[in-house]
Structure 1
Amino acid sequence: MKKIAWITDTAAQLDEAFIQQHNVHVLPLSVVFDEGSYRESIDLTQEEFYDKLRLAKVSPKTSQPAIGEMLELYEKLQSEGYDFAIALHLSSGLSGTFDSAQSAAEMSDFKVYPIDSKIGSFPMVKMIEVGDRMFAEGQDADKVVATIQGMAEKAHLSFIPSSLNQLHKSGRVSGTQSFISNILNIKLVITFVDGVTVMKEKVRSNKRAKQSVMSALRKDMETGTVPEVAAIHCNNAEDAEVWKKELLQEFPELKVSVVPLSVCVGVHAGEGTTGLSWVSY
């Protein structure tokens, strides 16, 4: 049986048990504040990030792993006797990480299959799970890559920022839009379309925003199979747990987990953001 390594980045938000079980090597995304750069999950915890974000006068920036860091990892895996690696990264529509992985793979003697997840967070976890299971069943790399790419087309992630304050600070909306939206309690529903985030709806009240996301979920459940859903959040596990309970009341057999989003999402969406993510089969 071939010795296979998985590579991803911190957009996937893998826990340590998953990393060990599936032999995943995680490259950290970075957040750059005025005083310096911090590698997600290494130099900065979720709690520390949001503490710093609240105090920041200037919105931080995000940064991808360097090509040199990728090449170093590829050489290390080759020296440890791996036959090849699958490198699954955050959507190329949001980050240059996938493009860097492609460039690094071309520069390395080690065989790497870079994959654009076209999304982030929970669907990346499911892609690794499915791919690892296929390898255990004896499937070849080309088949696994094709399957994961197919999953990327059926992955969904929608989120609702708690307010537009951080979107304004990060330059995504104007100060006037932020002020008016907060006064009128307008909520945005932001979703992934073809690998980029777009505003799907602008509605009055969080309840209506959640109904919009739930409608998308019900539609996918009617046309396909959705065995698991993640209630995602930016430092707002309490509201994500509420959404989980609401999901289980309507779909008692559904597997629902509560998953934090990468702090790189928090840079733009802001603290308090919640949403749902799933993969339709």
Structure 2
Amino acid sequence: MNYRIVVDSCGEFTEDMKKNPHFVHAALHLSIDGEQFVDDETFDRLDFLAKMKESPNCPKSSCPSPEVYRAAFDCGAEHLYAITLSAELSGSYNSAVLGMNLFLENHPDAKVHVFNSCSASVGETLIAKKIAEYEEAGLDFEAIIEKVDDFILHMHTYFVLESLDNLRKNGRLSAVKALVATALNIKPVMGATDQGVIIQLGQARGMQKALRLMAETITAELEHPEEKVLGLVHCNNPERAEYVKQELMKLVKVKDIIVLESSGVSTLYAAQGGIIIAV
């Protein structure tokens, strides 16, 4: 194997990626009221959603340890890459860098690079697929890093949530604002800066209007759409994902649209019905 791509488990894998030995996950751990969950193939989304809804407390996540990353790099591949959640949202990036440094102590000539996705969820998926595309095309290691850094810089992330409760529990939204928004059925359209900081892009009253606003915002901001793959993740609502896909297809012609179910970490933040898009 000439390359390996390690993705923290917030980044969802397509079915093809799951079967491809070039891609591996580094699992985050989740907890609710002391109960522990591993964000891997054993993760039960419906059970987690139910327990999260019942709990008055904030669910927590913890990033993979440096040793998890070090072990993932130790596979004999010539080129090694890691992709993590935005460093503004998680310690996963710093952990991956520490894991890389541990690996380099015994393999000083190894070619290893850690990418801060400045995104999350399907944004990490798109980055992983782009690395593989360049590897399969035969580009050298340094050229791939340069091109992927540029890809990350120009990638945009968007999301709309059914509930603001987890943002409130995580201290990202005041209790008063969350209460008013819920009472008025206001749904914010959220995004991220090129540094991975969460920002509000707009808002609408009602989920359908908010999803349409997100689709319109994506269309207005998207450059060279015919060259872009759009990734769409839903949390336990395939019908809503299909609605958003159809709305986007009415507005813009992209190269492809990938639809995936949310990982454990994405489920924690998006909650029931949340939609996340990266392009």
Which TM-score applies when normalising by structure 1? 0.87
Contact 1:220 1:226 in 2 (8 A): no
Aligned partner of 1:7 in structure 2 is 6
The aligned runs of 1:1-281 (5 Å cut-off) are: 3-21=2-20, 23-75=22-74, 77=75, 81-108=76-103, 109-110=106-107, 111=110, 112-193=112-193, 194-221=195-222, 225-251=226-252, 255-278=256-279
Deviations 1:155-214 (A, max 9, x none): 111111112223223332232222211111111111111212112223333344234322
Please state how far the C-alpha of 1:254 moved relative to its aligned partner: 5.3
- What SS does the corresponding residue of 2:177 show, helix, strand or coil? helix
Q: What is the distance in 2 between the residues matched to 1:134 and 1:15?
A: 18
Q: What one-letter code is carried by the residue in structure 1 that aligns with 2:220?
A: K
Change (3 A) 1:48 1:137: same
- What SS does the corresponding residue of 2:20 show, helix, strand or coil? helix
Q: What one-letter code is carried by the residue in structure 2 that aligns with 1:163?
A: S
Q: What one-letter code is carried by the residue in structure 2 that aligns with 1:136?
A: E
Deviations 1:12-38 (A, max 9, x none): 111342133361121011111223321
Please state how far the C-alpha of 1:63 moved relative to its aligned partner: 0.6
- What SS does the corresponding residue of 1:32 show, helix, strand or coil? strand
Q: What is the distance in 2 between the residues matched to 1:15 and 1:45?
A: 18
Q: What is the distance in 1 between the residues matched to 2:14 and 2:46?
A: 16
Q: What one-letter code is carried by the residue in structure 2 that aligns with 1:177?
A: K
Q: What is the distance in 1 between the residues matched to 2:209 and 2:19?
A: 40
Deviations 1:51-94 (A, max 9, x none): 2212223221011001122223333x1xxx32231111111111
Contact 2:10 2:121 in 1 (8 A): yes
Contact 1:188 1:200 in 2 (8 A): yes
Q: What one-letter code is carried by the residue in structure 1 that aligns with 2:130?
A: V
Aligned length: 273
Taking only the aligned residue pairs, the percentage that are identical comes to 21
Q: What is the distance in 2 between the residues matched to 1:115 and 1:222?
A: 23
Structure 2 gaps of 5+ residues are: none
Which TM-score applies when normalising by structure 2? 0.88
Q: Which runs of 4+ in 1 moved over 3 A?
A: 220-227, 249-254
Contact 2:190 2:199 in 1 (8 A): yes
Contact 2:227 2:254 in 1 (8 A): no
Contact 1:8 1:88 in 2 (8 A): yes
Structure 1 gaps of 5+ residues are: none
Contact 1:189 1:213 in 2 (8 A): yes
Contact 2:186 2:206 in 1 (8 A): yes
